[in-house]
Structure 1
Amino acid sequence: MPEVIFNGPAGRLEGRYQPSTEKNAPIAIILHPHPQFGGTMNNKIVYDLFYLFQSRGFTTLRFNFRGIGRSQGAFDHGAGELSDAAAALDWIQSLHPDSKNCWVAGYSFGAWIGMQLLMRRPEIEGFMSISPQPNLYDFSFLAPCPSSGLIIHGSDDRVAPPQDVQGLVDKLHTQKGITITQKTLPGANHFYSNMHETLIEECAEYLDARLRGELAEARPKRLR
């Protein structure tokens, strides 16, 4: 797993990158939790999601947002971090121009950034949003949400209360042309204490179903 440094909007960004052996393999970008609360690309959930996608043949990247680890810059309350994510996708696409499709997976703060990236990049065909926080962050930009995906959270999450996540899911369920799959893990908190393996298993089951052509409506390809 090569360590990489690539240019971002606020300076260099540090990442971990695993190319697929297939030239036209899809790309997956994994986004970490809040930088000011200990979130890094080495978060256990981020790390395991990276290997989940890599094991399914994706070209996979996880990276530190600005100001974390060896990434330059300073925390920018989401706007700069979204620019970092876009720069990361640009960088990996420049190395893999034959890759037509992309997925984004984000955990907590990273879920909010990932959903915003989804709105801006039509090549993103699937997402995993783990413990999003609509109680703290504005998700009204999902109008409409352009791709099918998974929203997964815990029943005992006090950081992202289940009723708030449910409100977000209910809004997305009213949209036509996409399929939102929701999973609520009984007994899980925001950090998936003692539930980590269950979380990754659920994500793996979802990804495998999508790769079989399930859980997503056929839709015309969006143009870049």
Structure 2
Amino acid sequence: MPDVIFNGPEGRLEGRYHHSKAPNAPIALVLHPHPQQGGTMNNKVVYALHHVFSRRGFSVMRFNFRGVGRSQGVFDNGQGELSDAAAALDWLQSVNPDAGHCWVAGFSFGAWIGMQLLMRRPEISGFVAVAPPANRQDFTFLAPCPSSGLIVHGDKDEIVPEAAVAKLAAKLSAQKTITVDHTVIPGATHFFTDHLEPLAAAVDAYLAANPDRIR
């Protein structure tokens, strides 16, 4: 899995990229949790998501937001990180100009950034939001949510209450033009310790069930 360095809004950003051998393969961008709380592209949940997409034939990249690892810049409370994600998607699309579909996935803070990116980039045809911080961040910008997707949460999450995520999922599911699946992993905490396999299985099953947004 080669390291990549690409230009971001505030300097160089580093990532890890897997290129699919399939022609016109779909692309996926995976976003990591909060930079000021230890979040990096090597987070175990982020790695698990990256691996699921690559196994499903995607060209997929995860990267470090500004100020994390070798990525230049400083934390910008979400605004700059959204610009970083847009730059990463630009890079991913430049390497895969014939990609049929585009997905975004994120964990915690990364899910919040990913959902904002979804609103700005109409070419995104699917999303995966793992433990979106519905109790800490405002998701009202999803009015309406432009794409169908999957929300995954653990019922033992000690940081984001299950009720907050269920309320968000129900609100999005009420929209008529999209379908939002909500999967709860029994026994899983916020970081899915000892529950990475059920998480990966849930995401893989969702991708398998939606071939029209992959091929």
TM-score w.r.t. length of structure 2? 0.96
- Where in structure 1 are there 5+ consecutive unaligned residues? 215-224
For 1:106, the aligned partner's letter is G
Equivalent pairs, count: 213
| Partner in structure 1 of residue 81 of structure 2 | 81
For residues 174-213 of structure 1, the aligned pairs below 5 Å read 174-211=174-211, 213=212
| Partner in structure 1 of residue 34 of structure 2 | 34
| Conserved? CA contact 1:135–1:164, under 8 Å | yes
Percent identity over the alignment is 62
| Partner in structure 2 of residue 20 of structure 1 | 20
For residues 86-165 of structure 1, the aligned pairs below 5 Å read 86-165=86-165
Q: CA deviation at 1:22?
A: 2.5
Counterpart Cα distance in 2 of 1:57 and 1:85: 21
3-state DSSP of counterpart to 1:204: helix
Q: Which runs of 4+ in 1 moved over 3 A?
A: none
Q: CA deviation at 1:135?
A: 0.6
| Conserved? CA contact 2:173–2:181, under 8 Å | no
Q: CA deviation at 1:92?
A: 1.2
Counterpart Cα distance in 2 of 1:173 and 1:68: 34
- Where in structure 2 are there 5+ consecutive unaligned residues? none
TM-score w.r.t. length of structure 1? 0.92
Q: CA deviation at 1:67?
A: 0.2
| Conserved? CA contact 2:48–2:196, under 8 Å | no
Give the root-mean-square deviation of aligned CA atoms: 1.1
The question of 1:50 aligning with 2:38 is answered no
Counterpart Cα distance in 2 of 1:103 and 1:176: 21
Counterpart Cα distance in 2 of 1:50 and 1:146: 23
For 1:24, the aligned partner's letter is N
For 2:22, the aligned partner's letter is E
| Partner in structure 2 of residue 171 of structure 1 | 171
